[in-house]
Amino acid sequence: MLDKPAAPVFPLTEDFFCDAKTAAEIGASFHEQYGAGDPYPYICLDNFLNPQILYSVLKDLSVMPEPEASHNRAQERLKSSFNPEELPETTRNLFRFFNSRPFLSFLSGLTGIKGLIPDPMFLGGGIHEVKNGGHLDIHADFNLHKPMRVQRRINVLIYLNEDWRPEYGGQFEIWDNNMETCLKSFVPLFNRCVVFNTTSTSLHGNPNPVNHPHHVSRRSIALYYYTATWDGTQREHTTQFKARPGTADRMDWKVKVREVIADLTPPIAMRAAKKMLKAGGTEPA
C-alpha cells in the first residue's frame, strides 16, 4: 500500500480559506524552533502549502508580463520581480490571502511579533525570478517602507522550483553577523518555505549562480511584513550588500558613498538638497 502524502504544514484550501485561530495555533507550535534560529530567528518548513495551489501558480507563470523591476549588476544579476496584481487570478488570490488575517495570525504565532502589517503594494516583493547565471549577493534588507512609513520585520519566501538539485545553485544562505561563515544553506525546493526576522544585521541571499542544465529560472514567492514601530530614531537604510570572504563579490560603493554623504550632511541641508532634487525629477531612490 502506498503511503498517504503528508498533510501540508499550512492547511490552506484551494478556495483560499483557513481559520484564523487554527492558523495562529499552527504558527505557535513552531515558535520555539523559530526563536532558536542562529544568528537570528528563522525557520524552514517543507511541504508548506497544498501543492495543487502552487502548481496552479506555476501554470499562471507560464506566460509572464513585463517585470516590475529588473536588476543586472554585480550584486544582483539577472534578477526580476513581478507584481502579483499583474498575474492571473489564482496567483492574485493567493497573494491576497497572504495579506489576510489568518496568515498574519500564523506569522504572529510563529514569530511572536504582534501587530504585523502586510504590504498591499508588494514593494520589492511578489514573484521573484533569477535566470540562469544570475544570483543575489549576501545582504541585509531595506528597513523602512517609505510610502507607509512602517518598519520591516519579517520575510517569507516560498520556492516554486520542481525537481531542483543542489548542483543547480541558487541556495538560500544565512550568514553570521561578521560575514565570516555561512551558517545555513537551503536548496530552493518546490513548496519549501523560509521565514526569518529582518534587521540591519540579518544577512542572507542566494549568491551561488543559478546553473540549471536546461536554463530553467529559479522562482520564488517573496513576502514582507511590517510593524508601526518606526519612530525616526532608527537609521534608515536601503539594501546593504556584503562581500563574502575569498570571493569576487563586490561592495555596493554607490550606496556606501551616498550614505556617508548623508551622515556628514546637516539634516537641514540634506532636506533642502532632497527638495531640490525632487523638484528637478532626480531624487535618489
169 Ramachandran zone, left/alpha/beta (phi>0; psi -120 to 50): left
Strands 204-206 and 193-197, bridge-based pairing: unpaired
Q: What is the rounded CA–CA span in Å between residue 188 and residue 212?
A: 12
DSSP string, 190-245: TT-EEEEE--TT--EEE-SPP--TT-PPEEEEEEEEEES---S-S-----EE-PPT
pLDDT 10s digits, 231-256: 988 899 999 999 999 999 998 877 76
pTM of the model as a whole: 0.90
Instruction: Name the phi and psi angles at 138, rounded to 5.
Output: -65, 140
First vs last Cα of the chain: how many Å apart?
59
**What was the pLDDT predicted at 96?**
98
**What was the pLDDT predicted at 254?**
73
Instruction: Name the phi and psi angles at 169, rounded to 5.
Output: 75, -165
**What was the pLDDT predicted at 241?**
97
Residue keyed to cell 511541504: 47
Q: What is the rounded CA–CA span in Å between residue 2 and residue 82?
A: 39
| pLDDT under 70: residue ranges of the chain | 1-3, 256-285
**What was the pLDDT predicted at 132?**
97
**What was the pLDDT predicted at 276?**
61
Q: Which of 162, 188, 153 is nearest to 173 (CA)?
A: 188
Q: Quote the distance between the C-alpha of residue 254 and its chain's center.
A: 23
Q: What is the rounded CA–CA span in Å between residue 186 and residue 209?
A: 14
Half-sphere exposure of 284 (CA within 13 A, CB side): 13
DSSP state letter for 4:
P
CB of 137 closer than 8 Å to CB of 76: yes
**What was the pLDDT predicted at 285?**
34
Q: What is the rounded CA–CA span in Å between residue 260 and residue 275?
A: 19
Q: Which residues are bridge partners to 154 per DSSP? A: 197, 225
Residue keyed to cell 551616498: 258
Q: How far is CA 174 from CA 92, 200, 202, 242, in A?
A: 30, 14, 8, 12
